Structure 1
């Protein structure tokens, strides 16, 4: 049953629309209503559990009063709904052994739908098939007589550009997910490479890595992005986007994130393809050498050339990219030169050590150092400092999560462009913290808070919407995603994570239709609202990590 959408400020019950895992934490939120509730089995219409919500408390981000309640005692597999006084009901949800298996596969399969440079056939893409696209060579900006191969990789977002710093975060999240939770990726995602003896998450990531390799110059510098000079119209399919392709100039951030992600790939792919692993290491080291030569000379963040108007992905702070590269190369090689450099950069105080964004990548360097220092038994003081920083941030996220009416760790000022990425990044951080802590109680609390971030994404939010296309009883239908708009298929491409609430409202639709709303309600499911309803590869990638963890319940 699909329920009628309710306004953000009407009495309602909000719940993870996919449901919960047997034996794990289960909570829901009720807005503007508290009191007794009952849980009804939708197949038998029998009441199987009764309970009481907590007190109503004001939620600043949502702009309403919210109460929370536990369903932990509900552990019998089945399909249920929550009913409160006055006939207020929740969406139907399930309790089962692995309720997130299908959405985990869809989140990963969405990267296949983002592929550039190849035909997506009906065998693998279903109704969302389309022709091969962007097969031409790209000219180098300022030297358009030089044409370089450019086909391959993933489209970055709702547009068809391909950007190095965005690609690096996405492949890093996927490789970390596989490394930590390999059992979660035993099933195929049904892509052309399935069945080749390599897990499909690595098959898919390799498609992007191969394109990334095309972007490195002989001297180790890396082109910042490959796009047309401007965005195509919203109703243009990939194969019909025939604008001139141009490689924008090289950047320090592109070289740093390239070196880091290639060093990571060398480690991850070595058991599967030793030759590819060597190529990844060689290219990582070449970019590292360029970084060391360029330091102090090309540290300014990237700026678009005057005649290029596609996404800039500029970044004022570039020390964190240098740090991540040093950390990953140390983890790969054990060379003390990289460790010395990473420690120097870590102690500079010029960037956050625990961020997992595309611009602030320090968290990836810290994750690499934590693993390498533990494994090698080196520099105990640095290891202790990094662990302390990571767990301190996890405690901050935990406190924010527990104080929010919907369990999400976002304070009011963090509902920005791509807020759902931040929610999933926070889930990643909490899960990594659970691995670091020796306190069993804290470990359980971190994992539970990670579940709350996931619940928010899948419907336990003030709008009661599942932010992943193709899932839940009320989910995103009109993402700012060109193929979903232009392909003539009623349903959007499945497995898309929408950007989510954005109090900045940087598009005309959001400005016109989201006036005077609280931050958590500043979202509209409209194809023209790119500031709230676009997709990106690096919003999907942390969601894959969280989904993998919760699918197999954070197994040791």
Structure 2
């Protein structure tokens, strides 16, 4: 976040030129008015308030409000009330008192997580305090991520679709580069960083990656309402991809050759005046702005210099964003993106990565006339992520992939916890980005102990924040430094990734508290996102030229957020232009103003908003599991009536707990089934072998597999060649406990939503529900409740036939249960020799891909296996033919 220069004393105190007597009278009058205003403020302010998430709550999510009192009063209970009828729905105890926090002398957490029925409600405590109204519904976050994209479009430089006009069309002239200074370099485009018009590669690359990752992970969260240029109109592509392409285009301009990398456009001379972004002439060379080359050495054109030590922090971010862009765009239609552009993304992703390896260290932004700049002091996290993304771009396998994974793991071990979590203060953007994305992407590639090592890094950081957060009712452990909302968004995302990677829900309430904080469950009771939700308390007077000069709405912009009182008190040039509506809720703990004059807490930022786009997409798309900290109705975990084999379906097949596990044992035919989620390395080999023998197999694929652009070619081939394609869940959820099989880990609603999402992904590759009425559960693990829920969806649950070790082809030498291909093949041959049935009706399960550290791939032996079984007169059929 970069801010405008302070106002002069003359502007701040226009009566300084008056005579002393006049000044005295004027001063006494002002003091009297201030006292009167303060008295009115105190009189009008309620003694207690209830703070909630103004966006609302999902039925299965933790639902917490916070009651806070400006006096020492207490409460004993609260009621959930239907807003439409004013009828009590439930009375609940308030639980433990958390005591003082910020302006409050007493606080309680009001937990109503047990209420899952959709509707509009409000809360009322035993002292009569009433909360704002709120919704409980599955779709409370629907469209929120798309809404925040409005701010990203408004931040565009070059052609700005909000203004329907262009700006900064002459950028720029070079500084510090290998070319002569003032050489013209075409770097028109990108996003303005905040309310100023500076442009930084480090924040732009991070924003671009978050937008691309949101599309990759949660495509259902985005619509198609805008064109690539940002103007209204459909173009057949998600709007988030259009916005990410704007970032990719600019990053390519800032890294135009193998060894040229620019780091920023403009400097703080930008801050000399407020203006709508037209053509600037502030830098002494017509309308051009300076573009700073990334040298890895300290820079600064005037009195102040940064402390840069290398290039890797910027190069790593650029490489990661371009690599992910390559993965998502290479399968798009030719009329949307040409292959030469895709090839450039790949080439520049690799060259940026090479620059990061050649010039390790931190690349900071260059100050101008003021001593303020982005003081990034870490690069390890950026190179960790870039290394993982290089695996995806290069498509390496075997020993080469293992070597690259080891490199990424070495980076991860050097910075296990993002440093701001271990400190209570930080310099501006000192450790950036605020979440280590590399840990999440690396963990997806690993198994066993190595995977746990990386997820434990996340856990360590979360636990550090939790030890602070557990002491107060808001569960607030993120420090109140500049851009605290950006940190909050990133921390909630880290909690989300940890939960998804481990199925450990112990921090779900902490994750939700950080999300709730952004949308109203904070001492001020305001959402920190402009215009979201509509008709509620959100920023209305942000530090922005758009709103201040033209009253333009900056929909979707996430403002910086509260800062510590000690930080606020030392800031220069802050002048509030209106009475402080939150005066009663300011404290030394934290200060926030919805006032144009407060550049420290109320300025929106582009990169923070992009990070929030990812988090909102995650919240919209996921289906939550019950958490340890949430008391759920008993019916959620109550098994439904069991299905019996006699009522299941055809009498010639075998069933276990409602799932078909084998077909007719009198017919000499079997089904070869492959499941897929994270890996697809065996796809080409498997498809080639099946085509060689002119046979069909069955593939059960997760939504994550189906949406992975790297897997698109093999998916298209399997569909084209007539193989059976069916669902394997969307997010590869674990449905029930490994040891207590009857103990469900998901609700009926979660199960249904996840299965539906899987079918949506299938429909995009040409397979409708009517074509795929067999469902193979994730982890091949289920119980009779899952079978019943599947049946209620009009789908038949199936599973592999027990007796062989084919399903163990995913195990690795590092695992305690490793099975070699020779051992697996022996188990198949041994079972086949059993009389009288052998492999008749058998469902033989393998995986379409396995982790790189399993180099002994079972699919490499598929050819010999099929030869043997054909010689024994077995016929391979799709599983729906059994």
TM-score bracket, shorter-length normalisation? 0.7 to 0.9
The equivalent residue for 1:368 is 441
Instruction: Evaluate the alpha carbon distance shift between residue 31 and residue 223 of structure 1 in structure 2; reply closer, same or farther with a 3 A threshold.
Output: same
Cα distance in structure 2, aligned partners of 1:351 and 1:390: 7
Cα distance in structure 2, aligned partners of 1:392 and 1:139: 45
Instruction: Show the 5 A alignment for 1:2-401.
Output: 10-32=47-69, 33-60=74-101, 64-120=105-161, 125=162, 129=163, 131-142=165-176, 143-186=180-223, 188=225, 191-192=230-231, 195-228=234-267, 230-233=269-272, 235-239=274-278, 241-244=280-283, 245-250=289-294, 251=296, 252=311, 253-272=313-332, 273=337, 274-295=339-360, 299=361, 301-302=363-364, 304=366, 307=368, 309=370, 312-333=373-394, 334=396, 335-336=400-401, 338-348=404-414, 352=418, 359-361=431-433, 363-373=436-446, 381-398=449-466, 400-401=468-469
Partner SS, residue 101 of structure 1: coil
Cα distance in structure 2, aligned partners of 1:26 and 1:351: 29
What CA deviation, in whole Å up to 9, does each residue of 1:415-471 have, x standing for no partner? 100111111111101111111114xxx33x444432221111111111111111113
Whether the aligned pair in 2 keeps the contact of 1:223 and 1:254 (CA below 8 Å) is: no
Instruction: Show the 5 A alignment for 1:499-514.
Output: 499-503=560-564, 504-505=567-568, 507-508=571-572
TM-score (ref. length: structure 1): 0.85
TM-score (ref. length: structure 2): 0.55
Instruction: Evaluate the alpha carbon distance shift between residue 241 and residue 112 of structure 1 in structure 2; reply closer, same or farther with a 3 A threshold.
Output: same
The equivalent residue for 2:556 is 495
1:464 correspondence with 2:528: no
Instruction: Evaluate the alpha carbon distance shift between residue 150 and residue 515 of structure 1 in structure 2; reply closer, same or farther with a 3 A threshold.
Output: farther
What CA deviation, in whole Å up to 9, does each residue of 1:180-204 have, x standing for no partner? 2222224546743753232211111
What CA deviation, in whole Å up to 9, does each residue of 1:209-244 have, x standing for no partner? 101111114243311101255124563101154434
Cα distance in structure 1, aligned partners of 2:61 and 2:377: 42
What CA deviation, in whole Å up to 9, does each residue of 1:249-285 have, x standing for no partner? 3140322221222122222322225543321110011
Tell me the C-alpha RMSD between the 2 structures: 3.2
* C-alpha displacement of 1:532: 1.1
Cα distance in structure 2, aligned partners of 1:239 and 1:457: 32
Instruction: Evaluate the alpha carbon distance shift between residue 59 and residue 100 of structure 1 in structure 2; reply closer, same or farther with a 3 A threshold.
Output: farther
1:523 correspondence with 2:565: no
Instruction: Evaluate the alpha carbon distance shift between residue 507 and residue 345 of structure 1 in structure 2; reply closer, same or farther with a 3 A threshold.
Output: same
Partner SS, residue 89 of structure 1: coil
Instruction: Evaluate the alpha carbon distance shift between residue 275 and residue 381 of structure 1 in structure 2; reply closer, same or farther with a 3 A threshold.
Output: farther
What CA deviation, in whole Å up to 9, does each residue of 1:502-546 have, x standing for no partner? 112263366988999545531111212221111112211222222
The equivalent residue for 2:475 is 407
Instruction: Evaluate the alpha carbon distance shift between residue 53 and residue 344 of structure 1 in structure 2; reply closer, same or farther with a 3 A threshold.
Output: closer
Q: Which has the larger radius of gyration?
A: 2
What CA deviation, in whole Å up to 9, does each residue of 1:290-337 have, x standing for no partner? 233334xxx3543526x5659632323334333332232134323546
Instruction: Show the 5 A alignment for 1:538-549.
Output: 538-549=607-618
Cα distance in structure 1, aligned partners of 2:385 and 2:130: 47
Instruction: Evaluate the alpha carbon distance shift between residue 310 and residue 182 of structure 1 in structure 2; reply closer, same or farther with a 3 A threshold.
Output: farther
The equivalent residue for 2:486 is 421
Whether the aligned pair in 1 keeps the contact of 2:175 and 2:182 (CA below 8 Å) is: no
Cα distance in structure 2, aligned partners of 1:144 and 1:283: 24
Whether the aligned pair in 2 keeps the contact of 1:221 and 1:287 (CA below 8 Å) is: no
Whether the aligned pair in 2 keeps the contact of 1:370 and 1:383 (CA below 8 Å) is: yes
Partner SS, residue 284 of structure 1: helix
Cα distance in structure 1, aligned partners of 2:559 and 2:198: 18
The equivalent residue for 1:478 is 541
Whether the aligned pair in 1 keeps the contact of 2:79 and 2:124 (CA below 8 Å) is: yes
Whether the aligned pair in 2 keeps the contact of 1:409 and 1:426 (CA below 8 Å) is: no
Whether the aligned pair in 2 keeps the contact of 1:327 and 1:366 (CA below 8 Å) is: no
* C-alpha displacement of 1:390: 2.0
Instruction: Evaluate the alpha carbon distance shift between residue 324 and residue 511 of structure 1 in structure 2; reply closer, same or farther with a 3 A threshold.
Output: farther
Equivalenced residues, count:
528
The equivalent residue for 1:377 is none
* C-alpha displacement of 1:552: 2.5
Whether the aligned pair in 2 keeps the contact of 1:326 and 1:342 (CA below 8 Å) is: yes
Instruction: Evaluate the alpha carbon distance shift between residue 316 and residue 358 of structure 1 in structure 2; reply closer, same or farther with a 3 A threshold.
Output: closer
Partner SS, residue 542 of structure 1: helix
1:534 correspondence with 2:603: yes
Whether the aligned pair in 1 keeps the contact of 2:559 and 2:602 (CA below 8 Å) is: yes
Whether the aligned pair in 2 keeps the contact of 1:220 and 1:283 (CA below 8 Å) is: no
Whether the aligned pair in 1 keeps the contact of 2:412 and 2:454 (CA below 8 Å) is: no
Instruction: Evaluate the alpha carbon distance shift between residue 495 and residue 516 of structure 1 in structure 2; reply closer, same or farther with a 3 A threshold.
Output: closer
Partner SS, residue 21 of structure 1: coil
